[in-house]
Amino acid sequence: MCGIVGYIGTDSVRDIILKGLKRLEYRGYDSAGVAVKDGGQISLLKKKGRIEDLPKDEIPGSNIGIGHTRWATHGKPSDENAHPFLDCSGNISIIHNGIIDNFVSIKEDLIERGHQFTSETDSEVIAHLMEENYEGDMVDALQKTVEVLEGSYAIVAIHSKHDEIVAARDQSPLVVGVGDGENLLASDVPAILDHTQDVKYLQDGDIVRLKKDFVEIWDMDGNPVERETKTVDWTIEDAEKGGYEHYMMKEIHEQPQAIHDSILGRLKGFEKLDLKKYRIDSIRLIACGTSFHAALVGKYIIEEISGIPCMVEMASEYRYSSRLSEYPFTILLSQSGETADTLAAAKEASHRGCKTLGITNVLDSSLTREVDEVVYTQAGPEIGVAATKTFTTQLIVLYLVAIELGLMKRTLSVDKAETYRDELRRLPRLVEKILDKSEDIKELSKILAAAEDIFFVGRNINYPVALEGALKLKEIAYIHAAGYPAGELKHGPFALLTDDTPVISLCIKDNTFQKMLGNVGEIAARGSPIFGVGEKDKETEKLCDYHVHIPEVLPLFSPIIVNVVLQLFAYYTAYELGRDIDKPRNLAKSVTVE
Ligand code: AGP
């Protein structure tokens, strides 16, 4: 997830691009760079760090330029890995957002043909491919280039001899800002709002040419197309949140894309995670907070798919636990990669002689330096304090790790692995279906907002989802909530059930379904209002006072879908109560003290 800005017009690009990038900083901020057409050549300036670290005065005055702010995926944050990139001739400069899955083989071929590379990124191959494909027309060169790319991209390019900007998109956002005697390109609307409110949203497969007074677009088949110009009446602040009132809601809605990116990045990227070199007979998962809940779900996922026994520990407890003479392969999960308890646990695990794998969202974060292996979630920056899309993508990585382990241990057949991967690929669409129910969930949340205590119950793999639902509600709505295995309420918590105590019951059609319905019946008999979440089912609906339907999904993958319902419950309940949703009281996004 990176930020892209392009400008062609009559003003100097320097301030326009830097200001635009600043507005996109929420998309990534580990390095920044600008390329401008400077007379008959390209001038390039790029640097590790924030946009403010770019020496602004060194950017030449020009009316055509492109800029980028990076959130690293391939290659650590550094001056060399910062965008833009140049081809060998220095005439073509490109910026890219997305992931090029087949870049390794493209790069090898390009090196064989004499191209020299300056970075570790997947993106640089695009500049070199364009150089090979350029025969006088940049649109033509870009069209030929994207034909060989697999993955996702928003690409913007300039040439030292042409007064134009060309761009292409597929599965990564890119908008055109249509101005008066000037035109712009950006990954998101906030970057162009100072210049124009007229926007064309490009579609997957589109290629575009921008001159200062016109815009031409071609579709994926190369046919000229018109894309409707829409006028956005957002303020800058609205636009930074994608038109949502809170980052949390924006991030909830980014989940289909985040799942897609995490699958795409990992299915190929896993070639680099060679688990075969480790002896893995048992696994310990360690984390805090929401990441701990992902670890708990991970236990079910890994045991079911690979048959490897797992245990889960809170990072703050692990460090002080007895040192038994066993060396499980240890997986540490942390969105930020900076949580002090998790870092201390990673050090302790290595000290005890365990081999470690870190799963984090932040490239080069401290956790990555404490572990033997790293896998990145592809959620992009998460700004809301409440973890949403990062929990979802942690689960995606755990499914993929489990599939690798299952294949490695031969407990999973190749056919079954493909069935699981197909189900993973369906998930973005299924999450969309839940998001379409937002209005219904909002209405139900008005009832929850009146409660003082709320229970969340689930069984099996959805028990930890109940814990996560309760945590989210406590965190942002400030309502006391507790998650339980549904079969456990009768061993004590039943004493708390009244007709003012809503119970959110996760009734998923897995092998515990009938038992779950039995538990829901017991709760109903105590008079508590029951909010069911599960597939359409007459029996469940009879028992529940309210019901949110989820689409049919393999039970093993249901946590992703069910959890989105619970995120929306928490959000709308907090909203109803007027809470400070993105910055809940007493909390911080990253907890760097033990
Ligand atoms: C969840 O909404 C919280 N913000 C919190 O529990 C968080 O998951 C926890 O502090 C761990 O953070 P990490 O994933 O960055 O290590």
Specify whether the CB–CB gap between 177 and 126 falls below 8 A. no
Specify whether the CB–CB gap between 465 and 394 falls below 8 A. no
Region 367-389 average pLDDT: 90
Calculate the average pLDDT of the chain. Answer: 92
Model confidence pLDDT, tens digit, residues 96-150 = 998 898 999 999 999 999 999 999 999 999 999 999 999 999 999 999 999 999 9
Q: Of residues 522 and 237, which shows the higher confidence score? A: 522
Distance in angstroms (rounded) separating the CA atoms of residues 487 and 493: 11
**Alpha carbon nearest to ligand 1 atom 9, residue:** 289
Q: Which residues line ligand 1 (CB under 6 A)?
A: 288-291, 334-336, 339, 342, 385-387, 475, 590-591
Share of the chain above pLDDT 70, in %: 97
**Alpha carbon nearest to ligand 1 atom 6, residue:** 289
Mutate to test the pocket of ligand 1, among 336, 341, 563 (most ligand atoms within 8 A of CB): 336
Share of the chain above pLDDT 90, in %: 76
Rg over CA atoms, the chain: 25
Residue 336 alpha carbon, nearest atom of ligand 1: 15
| Band of residue 583 on the pLDDT scale cut at 50, 70, 90 | confident
Residue 287 alpha carbon, nearest atom of ligand 1: 16
State the distance from the centre of ligand 1 to the C-alpha of 379, rounded, in angstroms: 14
* Other Cβ atoms within 10 Å of 587 Cβ, number: 12
User: Of 2, 310, 354, 507, which one is the catalytic site residue?
Assistant: 2
> The sheet that has 41-48: what strands, in order across it?
41-48, 31-38, 64-70, 3-8, 183-186, 175-178, 198-201, 229-231
Mutate to test the pocket of ligand 1, among 246, 290, 338 (most ligand atoms within 8 A of CB): 290
Q: Shortest CA distance to 339 belongs to which of 288, 388, 408?
A: 288
State the distance from the centre of ligand 1 to the C-alpha of 585, rounded, in angstroms: 15
Say what the pLDDT of residue 262 is.
86
Specify whether the CB–CB gap between 497 and 594 falls below 8 A. no
Question: Would you give the DSSP letter of residue 489?
Answer: G
Distances (CA, A) of 159 to 53, 155, 253, 463, 517: 26, 13, 36, 56, 65
State the distance from the centre of ligand 1 to the C-alpha of 207, rounded, in angstroms: 40
Residue 387 alpha carbon, nearest atom of ligand 1: 2
Residue 472 alpha carbon, nearest atom of ligand 1: 2
Model confidence pLDDT, tens digit, residues 162-180 = 999 999 999 888 999 999 9
Specify whether the CB–CB gap between 216 and 224 falls below 8 A. yes
Say what the pLDDT of residue 249 is.
97
> The sheet that has 503-506: what strands, in order across it?
480-485, 453-458, 503-506, 530-534, 546-549
Within the chain, how many helices (H) and strands (E) appear? 18, 25
Q: Is 589 labeled as catalytic in the residue annotation?
A: yes
Say what the pLDDT of residue 188 is.
83
Name the helix (H) or strand (E) containing 178: strand 175-178
Token duo for residue 82: 């910062």
**Alpha carbon nearest to ligand 1 atom 5, residue:** 289
Of 264-268, 368-372, 532-536, the least confident: 264-268
The contacts of residue 567 (CB under 8 Å, 6+ apart) are 252, 386, 388, 472
Say what the pLDDT of residue 60 is.
86
Model confidence pLDDT, tens digit, residues 80-98 = 999 999 999 999 999 999 8
Q: Is 241 labeled as catalytic in the residue annotation?
A: no
Q: Shortest CA distance to 93 belongs to which of 9, 149, 140, 35?
A: 35
Cis preceding linkage at 84, omega within 30:
yes
Specify whether the CB–CB gap between 181 and 212 falls below 8 A. yes
